[in-house]
């Protein structure tokens, strides 16, 4: 069993993907997005799922300006879904200007964080636990990791309290 990422750890590098404005797959390394910056990384068990779509993502979109005013340079949303699903999901938030939706299609990055969740018994395969991390210059400053299906510690408001 792998150990979960924790406060004080260096966030591991890994490649995530998205579709650009021309529907071309783009790969990006986590370190390229986080090196030398203060960044929020949050993950959800699945795109289009109720808590993720109605509460978790909207909270980060609504609080993006406040997060940025406190020095956050990037807000990254990760899910173990493919790039097409993540692009379609991102388009359901036309007001979003700041949250980047990144696909971890095979779950490799979530496994590197030690935050994978086996939901095969529910027909969902390997997914991500719900969490939010505050990362500053590649170091984890805050690790808000949910238990089970909860949504109590990983919200944008909890990250704001830590800033």
**Which positions are annotated as active-site residues?**
52
- Checking phi first, is residue 102 left (phi over 0); if not, alpha (psi -120 to 50) or beta? beta
Structural contact between residues 29 and 44, judged by C-beta atoms closer than 8 angstroms: no
- DSSP 3-state of 45: coil
Please identify which residue in the block is written with the tokens 């879904």.
81
Q: What Rg, from alpha-carbon coordinates, does the chain have? A: 14
The closest of 107, 113, 101, 102 to 140, measured between CA atoms, is 113
d(C-alpha 142, C-alpha 26), whole Å = 28
CB 126 within 8 A of CB 116: yes
């Amino acid at each position: 069993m792998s150990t979960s990422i924790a406060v004080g750890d260096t966030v591991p590098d890994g490649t995530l993907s998205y579709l650009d404005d021309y529907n071309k797959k783009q790969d990006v390394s986590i370190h390229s997005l986080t090196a030398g910056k203060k960044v929020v990384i949050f993950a959800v068990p699945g795109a289009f799922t109720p808590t993720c779509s109605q509460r978790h993502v909207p909270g980060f979109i609504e609080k993006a300006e406040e997060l940025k005013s406190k020095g956050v340079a990037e807000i990254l949303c990760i899910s173990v879904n493919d790039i097409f699903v993540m692009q379609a999901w991102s388009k359901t938030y036309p007001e979003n200007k700041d949250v980047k939706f990144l696909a971890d299609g095979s779950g490799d990055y979530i496994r590197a964080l030690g935050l994978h969740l086996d939901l095969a018994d529910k027909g969902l395969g390997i997914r991500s636990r719900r969490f939010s991390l505050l990362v500053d210059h590649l170091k984890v400053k805050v690790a808000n990791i949910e238990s089970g299906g909860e949504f109590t510690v990983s919200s944008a408001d909890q990250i704001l309290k830590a800033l």
